[in-house]
Structure 1
């Protein structure tokens, strides 16, 4: 499927970086010399996000040039600018999300610098100047978490004098259909528990995720990866970010919840919607969305998003594909696996909010029901269910390709 989100490729190089960050901003100086001596005015700033994705925006009265560099020990993102007067309140750019410290100021008469110190390795997936509707321009920086290895490699490969805008460009499309399999819960967040308190949802979902990965990897032209491969906690935003970084064409989140009504049993397939399809779906989404708080994780803001017509169209297309996948999973289960009444439901699950990846949340059954619990622990039943899901994904892929995705 044509992916609606574009990623940035950044080319940069290592150099020693002191506390005063005084290493030569030749690019910014050259850019400033071509304009009048009057500096740019950065009249506004804002930051939003969490410890998986964070957006930083600066508003300017003119169009800025800039260059981006990465520096380690501690991990930092450095933005060199032309001569700039920073006229916004420091409170507007208080560090949060992926960043624990933000500094900015003049580097001389012809240049300025913004330094973002990260809490973990980061990379910019978008860095570009956009025109404001009312006045001036804005510099938009979208940062995502990355691995230690990837950050070290970016520092090693960068060229410090790389000039100009770091423009977002489309990713090269490959022929591999990639599925992100998300084993719900993990680590300190055990999820639901069985009647005797010994069976934990986090272990059920991981076992199913591993089995489903094996099934999908056995299909020609398909590749699956897990958001978590062991028993550790992932925030909801991290799960979505990992799916996007893995260039997933599909996202499947696996769960096995509990209900007060212990006689209710069977599988359910959920898609995202602002308004829940029913009270049960609404309550279930509310519980799942509390996962971060239950693990002691404080979400400061939702993930940064682009509110424009193109993004809205992407979301609508993605939602249509999500519904198509959900329908195929339900059809695959019919007559083979028990389903609850109205097995196709929807609610505001945070983990399904990737704007460019068709996503479904699959409740495999309910640990509150004794019969469902027995099946969830049965290896043969697990093999059967994951095989049916893999078949549904294969059918979905064929239809999506036929539709030109």
Structure 2
């Protein structure tokens, strides 16, 4: 017993020593983590900093129309929240996410043309992990144009052995569904009759999404992720990134509608189309899209003609699958809730522009109708809708992927 305790203590001390030598608790993370991002201004230059658990390989290149700095790094886990944030100095905003398996990408949208003055890693200290630093200095647009080039091979930081990351989708035993409760935080979404905030869309969408999640998970057949699980605002780009990052099999954005005529009620299912199916669908797209910029795949590294082919092929297949699910969803919702006339409509909705994930936007009903608003906040109504969604999801996967 004494010998075992002595060995255990020795092993513990050895682990602590190794941890200290190689950067504290950061040394044992299999996949590098980004734990903080910040921007500062120093003597005429803008500095962008990522705090990371490990050094990683990186590559930097520039793009124009609009001006951007693009940083590709080895695949990381983002611990700083979804999507991106507003910038400072020469940086208007920055965005980040998984670009492709093995590579994460950070895009710096620029206020003015700049050059990369320096890019380097700072070693960890007692209070800080590794820091990736990029310094930007202002230049003319002509000079900036001369820096534009295609992505290059990543610069080796230390060339550690890269972990093999297995595809999330291929390793799953359950289908993964992403539920996206619309709006949130400072954005209440649609309001009730005469602008009443008794039932703001953000609240109804979140409570309904939680109930739908419970109904799907109760079957034991599905894994479900929410794009938000509390009252926070999530940008469109970040919502679709959740589906991309987890290689989702289906994306359902949950919303509530509004209209000047308070007599109108009923649910509607929307799928993506560049051309709206009617004037009301176009108005819906305008309302939903104005809160954020375009979301979707980042194909900037590909030539224009390749981009067009990839987008067309991905979009065609995804839109067909989205339409297939919408048909099943409308059929099952008829059994649990009132539907609009022509309940399957199309609109150019940014949140559905995930391209490689079959997606629908479900308008549960109209908050401007007192009956819809009252029913949609009832648990029983949400459970009925949830069970209809389960049936629609079951039928969709059986119809399209029965052999998988």
The bucket for the TM-score relative to the shorter chain is 0.5 to 0.7
Which residue does 1:192 correspond to in 2? 190
8 Å Cα contact 2:252-2:359 kept in structure 1? yes
TM alignment of 1:68-79, pairs within 5 A: none
d(CA) in 2 for partners of 1:363 and 1:203? 14
For the structure 1 residues 256 and 162, does the alpha-carbon distance in structure 2 shift closer, same or farther, using more than 3 Å as the test?
same
**3-state SS, counterpart of residue 265 of structure 1:** coil
2:297·2:354 contact (CA, 8 Å) conserved in 1?
A: no
Give the superposition deviation at 1:377: 1.8
| Aligned match of 1:162 | 159
Q: Would you say the 8 A contact 1:184–1:206 is kept in 2?
A: yes
RMSD: 4.2
Residue by residue, what CA displacement relative to the aligned partner does 1:242-261 show, whole Å, maximum 9, x if unpaired? 12112211100111121012
Residue 199 of structure 1 aligns to a residue whose secondary structure is coil
In 2, Cα distance between the equivalents of 1:259 and 1:334? 22
TM norm structure 1: 0.62
Aligned twin of 1:248: 248
In the alignment, the residues of structure 2 paired with residue 116 and residue 172 of structure 1 have an alpha-carbon distance, to the nearest angstrom, of 34
Q: Give matches, 1:6-405, under 5 Å.
A: 45-46=62-63, 56=70, 96-98=93-95, 99=108, 104=116, 116=134, 138-139=150-151, 160-162=157-159, 173=170, 174-195=172-193, 196-292=196-292, 299=293, 305-306=298-299, 307-402=307-402
**Structure 1 unaligned blocks of 5 or more:** 1-9, 29-41, 58-65, 75-92, 108-113, 119-135, 142-158, 293-298
Distance 1:281 1:13, change over 3 A: closer
**How far off is 1:381 after superposition?**
1.2
CA deviation vs aligned residue, 1:215-246 (integer Å, no higher than 9, x gap): 11122331111100001111111111112112
Q: 1:378 to 1:178 in 2, by over 3 A?
A: same
Structure-2 separation of matches of 1:370 and 1:362:
19
- Answer yes or no: is the 8 Å Cα contact 1:55–1:140 preserved in 2: no
Question: Is the CA contact 2:117–2:135 (under 8 Å) kept in the aligned structure 1?
Answer: no
CA distance in 2, matches of 1:206, 1:314: 30
Please say if residues 69 and 160 of structure 1, whose CA atoms lie closer than 8 Å, have aligned partners that are also in contact. no
Please say which of residues 378-387 and 159-168 is displaced more in the overlay. 159-168
Number of residue equivalences: 295
The change in CA–CA distance for 1:304 and 1:247 in structure 2 (over 3 A counts) is closer
In the alignment, the residues of structure 1 paired with residue 33 and residue 205 of structure 2 have an alpha-carbon distance, to the nearest angstrom, of: 42
Question: Partners in 1 of 2:376 and 2:73 — Cα distance?
Answer: 53
Change (3 A) 1:215 1:12: closer
Distance 1:208 1:55, change over 3 A: farther
Quick one: distance in 2 between partners of 1:67 and 1:48? 23
For 1:191 and 1:370, locate their aligned partners in 2 and report how far apart those are by CA, in whole Å: 17
The TM-score normalised by the length of structure 2 is 0.62
Residues 6-47 of structure 1: per-residue CA shift (max 9 Å, x gap):
xxxx97799xxxx9x9xxx9x99xxxxxxxxxxxxx9x8316
Q: 3-state SS of the aligned residue for 1:214?
A: helix
Q: Which moved more, 1:160-169 or 1:315-324?
A: 160-169
C-alpha displacement of 1:105? 5.5
Q: Which runs of 5+ in 2 are unaligned?
A: 1-29, 35-46, 50-54, 81-89, 96-107, 120-131, 137-147, 300-306
Q: CA deviation at 1:104?
A: 3.1
**Superposed CA offset, 1:112-156 (max 9, x none):** xx96589xxxxxxxxxxxxxxxxx972179xxxxxxxxxxxxxxx
